[in-house]
A and B are shown apart, each in its own frame.
Chain A
């Protein structure tokens, strides 16, 4: 970023080693996410992976509807906007027409796990060589906090004011477990970004997914447990506490499928 280079030249005599700076695959645009929203962390991890692998010029991202839709403003690579839930279908077309490109989708839980479930499952079972970054924050964020397919039992949302009732609304969907049963999936892993240690682990997982795609191994999905402080009604810090107390027990972290490590490994 420009500030980094200008400050580096300002202290010219002692050339400082940059330990951390904004990665070039992110544009200079300020994100329009709420303060403390973990979307920003996850987008940075994807951008850093793109830069590390040197694939910015051949990468195409697909963003469907939800808070994730604005991501096309934040990446330097080409971005395509898809209809609600249809990102895997659009990504399939992009990848098949230009097999040399790296194609990723960036989808929320209200998008991927509800209206886009058919596209998601079929793209996975076809083994499309795309990478799906799945943001699971157990709620519809952009539309104001309605119950999502991933909302937890008893979770209070705008449309479940007495808590999610599993008798009428059913059980939350565990996407990684579901997709790991399909043969076309090369990597299905669930990570979170609630601490520096977990952020580093998430980065490794994202990079692995991109590498698997480049090697042509098949469909890769990284599910990231994220927070939505605004719609959960919590501070960013308290939201991480809620994530650890409520989401982690229901959505255990781990590798659910990895074709290189053998099936069934966790």
Chain B
């Protein structure tokens, strides 16, 4: 079990992490808007995260930190 933290300051809501996640636990949160006006990505089920770091590898804005 790993913990994903998305930094709202960097995230631009491009959705690449959502597409690449093998566990389908990343989603764009339409209820939040970042300072730049994007819907940021969030992890909806931290328990299901395997820590594969695929989302972080694909994140163009280096917004994702993953800890185990």
Residues in chain A within 8 A of chain B (CB atoms): 1, 3-4, 7-8, 16-23, 26, 30-31, 33-41, 44, 195-196, 199-200, 229, 235-237
Contacts and interface: CB of A to CB of B under 8 A. Distances in A.
A23 B68 CA distance: 18
Given A4-B65, A16-B68, A36 B15 contact: yes
A41 B10 CA distance: 13
A22 B62 contact: yes
Interface residues of B, number: 31
B19 A33 contact: no
A3 B2 CA distance: 17
A17 B67 contact: yes
A15 B9 CA distance: 25
A18 B62 contact: no
B60 A16 contact: no
B60 A18 contact: no
A20 B61 CA distance: 13
B66 A40 contact: no
Given A39-B60, A40-B60, A21 B65 contact: yes
A16 B46 CA distance: 14
Given A19-B53, A36-B16, A236-B16, A7 B68 contact: no
B67 A26 contact: no
Given A16-B67, A20-B56, A195-B20, A236 B15 contact: yes
B58 A199 contact: yes
17 contacts: A3-B5, A7-B65, A19-B53, A26-B62, A31-B60, A34-B12, A36-B14, A38-B60, A40-B61, A40-B62, A196-B20, A196-B57, A199-B57, A200-B57, A229-B14, A236-B15, A237-B15
